Amino acid sequence: MNDDGVRQALEHLAKQGFLSVDKDGVVKLRPPRNYIWQPQEDITAYELARAVEVMFVAMMQQGDCDAAFERLPDEAKRHFEVVKP
């Protein structure tokens, strides 16, 4: 792979949030996040339905759990604890 291909690959991964480049040009991979399901007492049917997406992706291991979580509306995100390593 040439330098241009490497640059494009790194830019793509950075846009996806998988890595970052610090001010010194050092590439750092972002460790995966974990999500703990902690439904609140006042959860609505809508929030539960949206949250199932994240739980399904995590269970089936066929997708990007982080992307599924980011697509959630804020009212559904409140039912998860985000654990960063």
Domain ranges of the chain: 1-30, 31-85
Low-confidence ranges of the chain (pLDDT < 70): 1-2, 16-18, 30-32, 58-63, 85
pLDDT of residue 53: 83
pLDDT in tens, 13-27: 777 666 777 777 777
User: Residue written as tokens 């830019």?
Assistant: 11
**Residue 84, token pair as written in the block:** 């960063």
Strand 27-29 versus strand 19-21 pairing type: antiparallel
Q: Is the pTM of this model over 0.75?
A: no
Distance from C-alpha of 45 to C-alpha of 53, rounded to nearest angstrom: 13
Question: Where are the alpha helices (H) located in the chain, listed in sequence order?
Answer: 3-15, 45-60, 65-71, 74-77
36 membership: H or E segment, kind and range = strand 34-37
